Amino acid sequence: MAKLIRYGMVGGGPGSFIGKVHRMAANLDGKMRLVAGSFSSDSEKSRRMGSQLNLQPDRVYESYQQMAENEAALHEDKRIDVVSVVVPNNLHYDVCKTFIEAGVHVICDKPMTNTLEEAEELCRLVAKHNTLFALTHNYSGYPMVKEARQLVEEGTLGTLRKVVVEYPQGWLARSVENEAEVWRLNPNIAGISSTIADIGTHAEHLVRFITGAEIEELYADINTFVDGRTLEDDANLLVHYKNGMRGILYASQVSIGEENALKIRLYGDQAALEWEQEQPNELRLKYPDKPEEIYRRGNSYLSEAARYHNRIPAGHPEGFIEAFANIYSNVADVISARKSGAQPDKLAMDFPTVQDGARGVHFIHKAIESGKQQKWVDMDYTPPT
């Protein structure tokens, strides 16, 4: 039996929603064990979080720099194999860089960095130090999203013509309590974008993951509806893809009443498909001359990729945590293979990489550029390898 992969976490301290999600995902399949962390810049909070998680006190650190240095100095049978980075955007680059240079694999929340220069430097560092880097575009972890990609690859939809992807939320529809403290609205922390960086990049990656299509050019209409905000809270994009497909991307956090309504509709010249995150266990196929088909997670008729990323039988819903867990599970399997000198399973290699991160940062910056200048912008881009 493969040994548990030891992981550490930077961020995810008391009250952190996303830190808790990452820990649940990492623990779900019994392949990883949390052994170290620097959970907050407040050392008392970090110690308290470490105590709650039953970590050894000497593996709970006051800073991520101290954590990287001390962990790298430990024997290879004790130190962390991978670090989970769940800090605000402005810290992603420094934290990731520090651990990559220490020879530690990285799992990082999106967007990868706040600037394209930082993103490209991480690409170069990952290649230089031969580390794994996984970006948690968790929606690519859903089995039915992987089924959608397989159907596109098999030509079931025919030639792709149009995609409509939407990600509406309503939690910022009105001014929120202590809005100045919401880091996603603070350009000093979030960077140049709020809504596009937070959820628009998920929508863009979902299209790219399913179709493999790269954007040729885009036109963005960005808006800030709530008075007093510096960054956008709504965005509408027209997108032209290199394969001739045309797209509409809508990301909004002022769509009142919406919760987390990510949805994609993809139209070819033979068929169409539809998937929505709030009903993730179903994938709908539509045809011009026969009834609609509904594919359901957990069934034997699905593709190998969808079955590989499935845990329980049909009729038992899987969701958000499991999609995150598929990324963690795959990273654990690839690290285990590396340790044993084996070739990783191709299906385990199915997670977003540092290059996906760079493409996402490029998308964010170009969308904001287009929105501010009110013009079409060229999207041609190849990240460093």
Tell me the per-residue pLDDT of 236-271, one tens digit each, with 9 for 90 and over.
Answer: 999 999 999 999 999 999 999 999 999 999 999 999
pLDDT on residue 180 = 79
Statement to judge: residues 109 and 222 lie in one domain = no
Which tops the pLDDT comparison, 11 or 177?
Answer: 11
| Residue 383, in any domain of the structure | no
- Residue 90 placed within a domain: yes
Which of 66, 68, 118 has its CA nearest to residue 90? Answer: 118
Domain holding 247: CATH number? 3.30.360.10
Q: Within this chain, do residues 77 and 157 fall inside the same structural domain, yes or no? A: no
**Distance (Å, rounded) from C-alpha 331 to C-alpha 314?**
25
Give this prediction's pTM: 0.96
Give tens-digit pLDDT for 55-65. Answer: 999 999 999 99
Using CA atoms, how far apart are residues 118 and 361, in angstroms rounded to an integer?
Answer: 9
* Mean per-residue pLDDT over the chain, rounded: 97
The confidence band for 330, taking pLDDT boundaries of 50, 70 and 90, is very high
Q: Is residue 273 a part of any domain in this protein?
A: yes
Q: Could you give the CA distance from residue 153 to residue 194 in angstroms, rounded to a whole number? A: 33
Say how far apart CA 170 and CA 104 lie, in whole Å.
38
Task: Give the structural domain span for 178.
Answer: 144-312+359-378
In this structure, the number of other CB atoms found within 10 A of the CB of residue 296 comes to: 15
User: Are 42 and 190 part of one and the same domain?
Assistant: no
Q: Give me the CATH number covering residue 102.
A: 3.40.50.720
* CA-based end-to-end distance of the chain: 33
The average pLDDT across 13-36 equals: 96
The rounded distance, in Å, linking the Cα atoms of 29 and 236 is 38
Do 157 and 291 fall into the same domain? yes
134 and 165 together in one domain: no
Question: What pLDDT is recorded for position 2?
Answer: 65
The DSSP letter of residue 225 is -
Structure tokens given for 76 = 């290879």
Do 267 and 336 belong to one domain?
Answer: no
Listed in sequence order, the DSSP H helices in 36-186 are 43-52, 64-73, 89-101, 116-129, 143-154
Q: Contact 254/118 with Cβ under 8 angstroms?
A: no
The residue among 150, 134, 87, 97 whose CA lies nearest residue 119 is 97
Is 289 among the domain residues?
A: yes
Q: Is residue 318 part of a domain?
A: no
Regarding whether 264 and 346 lie in a shared domain, the answer is no
* 5-11: strand order across its sheet: 32-38, 5-11, 82-86, 105-108, 133-135
Residue 57 located in a structural domain: yes
